[in-house]
Amino acid sequence: MYAEHEAATEQTTSDPMSRRHFLWKNGVGLGGLALTWMLQREAAANGDGSVTGGLHFPARAKRVVQIFCMGGMSQMDTFDHKPALEKLHGKKLQGRGELRGFFGQPGLIMKSPFEFKRHGKSGSWVSSILPNIATCVDECCFLHSMVAKSNNHTPATFQMNTGFTLNGFPCMGSWLSYGLGTENDNLPSFVTLPDPRGMPAGGSINWAAGFLPAAHQGVAFNTSGSELVRDLRTPADVSAAKRKAGLTLLNDMNRKFLTDNPGNSDLAARLRSYELAGAMQLSIPEAQDFSGESPAIRSLYGLDNKASEGIGRNCLIARRLLERGVRFVQIINGGAFGSPRINWDAHESVVKNHTKMAASMDQPFAGLIKDLNQRGMLDDTLVLLTTEFGRGPATQGINRPGRDHHPDAFTFFMAGAGLKKGFHYGESDDIGFAVADKPTTIHDFHATVLHMMGIDHKKLTYYHNGIQRRLTDVHGHVIKGIIA
């Protein structure tokens, strides 16, 4: 590989605008990792078999889809059944340590208002508000001992996506794009599908590339209208010849500026975006065309249900993008923090909030898991359900039906791609207040996702401001106990 790198370097001397020189100097492979991947892919195309399916070792997953439940999904009202809450209902929360709620108004212990039942061969507990996901539990691997650093939505959301509570750091999708590139040059390697009802806390920072080359930022599609990408179509009154002449002139000007200003990754990303936009004029209309999807598939994703049609459409688009080579698709469930609140932030009422939010994503996400499975894609697709923190076991205020933020114990689940099925990792205490066994950090979670994609989280680095930065900072351990 070093010999190939030297050969590529020698080529740049004789041909200053060669493809490899352009990529090496201007963003798509700055730092060497993505260039290494591209050289490996070219070598694989030549038949030398050098690609193992991942950057550092054989990968179990080829692609990732994540649904992010914005606002803080309550663990003891969804996947972490706590019978002790019924016995202690109405009593004071004492002797448990510091309650890190956001509003500092601890009330009384509250049992879950939802009925829990065991499901599947694994006997996994799921509450009554998620009846469709309950049918998928034997495919899922639950992490009941998650902990987060912050009890505030924006920094906690940043940590979930980037590993850091401050903005300015690359998100996980950007790191995967940087490390692995794309399998389809006509589509972005990293796509975000926001909730059509509103943006998440922190907005577009959650899919930003941070200090990585700008080409690796996520592409947020327009999910609130009929066109996934606005203004993608060429106006009818612009002839093909006129459009080609304009693009040629613009391309020449941009490349001259790029030659005069080497190392400008923002411009390189802009050039790539223009090229990608041209390709997407064909790929996006095809990807969002559901005409070939059967009525059964539409029903599976909840497209015939008003409560779930928005997230259902996003989940079906996600599957179609994954099929077409998009590396990482992020589906955001929840966003607006105004009035009414459209996310999982159940301060006022767990019943009203979680019933509504669960109805928006339960059928679509369960449908996505089932559809991936029946197409044989679940074997090499990593499916993630995440949230930025959980909720506390006590009410927010006396005689109130809501729960406050709680970062000290909450639940994720993962599925597919060689993970243990119907498995439960870690444990919270009897009321879901603190971790009782196998505490798991966001850094551990990120390290595991990279591992499943064939990447050693300690080796995927980028030099920035005197530091070899990585997604997991100086922390993180692969959660080996959940890997089959």
Q: pLDDT, tens digit, for every residue of 413-459?
A: 999 999 999 999 999 999 999 999 999 999 999 999 999 999 999 99
CB 390 within 8 A of CB 409: yes
Q: What is the pLDDT of residue 266?
A: 72
Structure tokens at 92: 């004071």
Structure tokens at 229: 């990408």
Query: Which residues contact residue 405 at a Cβ distance below 8 angstroms, ignoring those fewer than 6 apart?
Result: 72, 100, 101, 102, 151, 152, 153, 156, 389, 391, 392
Query: Which residues contact residue 260 at a Cβ distance below 8 angstroms, ignoring those fewer than 6 apart?
Result: none
The pLDDT confidence band at residue 235, using thresholds 50, 70 and 90, is: low
Question: Which helix (H) or strand (E) covers residue 131, if one does?
Answer: none
Quick one: how far is CA 270 from the chain centroid? 23
Q: What is the pLDDT of residue 37?
A: 41
- What DSSP character marks residue 77? G
Question: Which helix (H) or strand (E) covers residue 351, if one does?
Answer: helix 350-374
pTM for the predicted model, two decimal places: 0.83
The residue ranking higher by pLDDT, 43 or 198, is: 198
Q: Which residue has the tokens 């920072």?
A: 205
Segment 312-326 mean pLDDT: 96
Strand segments, DSSP code E, in 389-444 are: 390-396, 403-406, 410-415, 423-425, 427-428, 435-437, 440-441
CA distance 392 to 256: 57
CA distance 35 to 7: 13
The residue ranking higher by pLDDT, 33 or 453, is: 453
Mean residue pLDDT of the chain comes to 86
Closest CA to 132 of 301, 280, 316: 301
Q: What is the pLDDT of residue 363?
A: 98
The residue ranking higher by pLDDT, 8 or 467, is: 467
Segment 9-14 mean pLDDT: 38
User: Is the confidence at residue 29, as pLDDT, over 70?
Assistant: no
Helix 265-287 / helix 240-260 crossing angle, nearest 10 deg? 150
CA distance 148 to 64: 22
pLDDT, tens digit, 9 for 90 and up, residues 70-90: 999 999 999 999 999 999 999
pLDDT, tens digit, 9 for 90 and up, residues 204-231: 999 999 999 888 999 999 898 777 776 6
Lowest mean pLDDT among 123-132, 266-275, 300-309: 266-275
Q: What is the pLDDT of residue 231?
A: 62
Lowest mean pLDDT among 110-119, 220-229, 365-374, 435-444: 220-229
What are the b/e assignments for 438-461, b being 16+ CB within 10 Å? eebbbbbbbbbbbbbbbbebeebb
Q: What is the pLDDT of residue 54?
A: 53
Q: What is the pLDDT of residue 338?
A: 73
Closest CA to 382 of 209, 188, 141, 217: 141
The residue ranking higher by pLDDT, 299 or 215, is: 299
Q: Would you call 189 helix, strand, or coil by DSSP?
A: coil
The residue ranking higher by pLDDT, 297 or 215, is: 297
The strand pairing partners of 403, in sequence order, are: 395
Lowest mean pLDDT among 48-52, 202-206, 328-332, 367-371: 48-52
What are the b/e assignments for 61-75, b being 16+ CB within 10 Å? bbbbbbbbbbbbbbb
Q: What is the pLDDT of residue 26?
A: 44
Q: What is the pLDDT of residue 234?
A: 61
* C-alpha angle 474-480-484 in degrees, rounded to nearest 5: 150
User: Is the confidence at residue 390, as pLDDT, over 80?
Assistant: yes
Structure tokens at 454: 């064939």
Q: Which residue has the tokens 């999982």?
A: 344
Closest CA to 73 of 463, 445, 407: 407
The pLDDT confidence band at residue 4, using thresholds 50, 70 and 90, is: very low
pLDDT, tens digit, 9 for 90 and up, residues 123-143: 999 999 999 999 999 999 999
Q: What is the pLDDT of residue 236?
A: 64
* Most confident of the ranges 33-47, 101-115, 169-183, 417-431: 417-431
Structure tokens at 104: 């500092």
* C-alpha angle 315-415-75 in degrees, rounded to nearest 5: 85
CA distance 248 to 238: 15
Q: What is the pLDDT of residue 8?
A: 37
The residue ranking higher by pLDDT, 92 or 25, is: 92
**Domains and their CATH numbers in the chain:** 57-228+288-482 (3.40.720.10)
CA distance 90 to 92: 7
The pLDDT confidence band at residue 184, using thresholds 50, 70 and 90, is: confident
The pLDDT confidence band at residue 407, using thresholds 50, 70 and 90, is: very high
CA distance 373 to 416: 9
Segment 22-50 mean pLDDT: 40
Q: What is the pLDDT of residue 274?
A: 67
